[in-house]
């Protein structure tokens, strides 16, 4: 069995240069839409967001729950949702001066309590780069009013 797999792998490796030389079909697929810094999959991101739903909502009817709504997150000042009672940790200048971007969100969501000690967001974090990229793709669909932009 092991040999069979090894043989398969070997033939695949041998084949790939041949495949690379194959002429590209004239009707090439349309170019992918301008990719985000991390091009994730929004549908997969919606499944990742299941981990956030106990505390966060997005969309036109989104309310603040345990955590603030996450509409229009990227470009939004951290700790700025009206009517949400943030922790003192989120009111420190280091956090309050932050504007959420896919990049600093990716850092935060890996380990919220390490990035922002004292935060009320009790969440272990997401380690998978792919899942974070998917989550970014999902969240960036929601404009500040909760309407989907894509
Ligand atoms: C157990 C509840 C809980 C879970 C689960 C949770 N959060 Fe939070 N989140 C919070 C709370 C509470 C805050 C406010 C933090 C504070 O005031 O310290 C927050 C804050 C945030 C902020 C900052 C918002 C702002 O207005 O600056 C982001 C972004 C965020 N969460 C994203 C997520 C994502 C994405 C997930 C899922 C992967 C998630 N959170 C899971 C409770 C949670």
pLDDT over 90 (residue 11): no
**pLDDT given for residue 21 in this prediction:** 53
Domain boundaries, the chain: 38-150
- Give tens-digit pLDDT for 110-123: 999 999 999 999 99
Q: CB of 71 closer than 6 A to ligand 1?
A: no
pTM for this model (two decimals): 0.80
Q: Can you tell me which atom of ligand 1 is nearest the CA of 139? A: 35
More confident: 138 or 1: 138
Question: How does the average pLDDT of the chain come out, rounded?
Answer: 84
Quote the ligand 1 centre to 56 CA distance (angstroms): 7
Q: CB of 45 closer than 6 A to ligand 1?
A: no
pLDDT over 90 (residue 7): no
Q: Which fold has domain 38-150?
A: Cytochrome Bc1 Complex; Chain D, domain 2 (1.10.760)
**pLDDT given for residue 150 in this prediction:** 75
Cα–Cα distance measured from residue 128 to residue 24, given in angstroms and rounded to the nearest whole number: 34
Q: Can you tell me which atom of ligand 1 is nearest the CA of 48? A: 38
Q: Tokens 């999902």 — which residue?
A: 138
Cα–Cα distance measured from residue 96 to residue 78, given in angstroms and rounded to the nearest whole number: 5
**pLDDT given for residue 29 in this prediction:** 52
Q: CB of 102 closer than 6 A to ligand 1?
A: no
């Amino acid at each position: 069995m092991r040999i069979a797999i090894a043989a398969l792998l070997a033939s695949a490796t041998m084949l790939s240069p041949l495949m690379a030389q194959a002429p590209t079909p004239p009707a090439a697929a349309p170019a992918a839409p301008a990719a985000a810094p991390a091009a994730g999959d929004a549908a997969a991101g919606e499944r990742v967001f299941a981990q956030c739903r106990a505390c966060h909502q997005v969309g036109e009817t989104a309310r603040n729950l345990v955590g603030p709504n996450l509409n229009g997150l990227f470009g939004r000042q951290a700790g700025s949702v009206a009517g949400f009672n943030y922790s003192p940790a989120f009111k420190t200048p280091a956090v309050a001066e932050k504007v959420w971007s896919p990049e600093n969100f990716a850092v935060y969501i890996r380990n919220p309590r390490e990035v922002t000690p004292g935060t009320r967001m009790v969440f272990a974090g997401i380690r998978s780069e792919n899942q974070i990229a998917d989550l970014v793709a999902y969240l960036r669909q929601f404009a500040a009013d909760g309407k989907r932009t894509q």
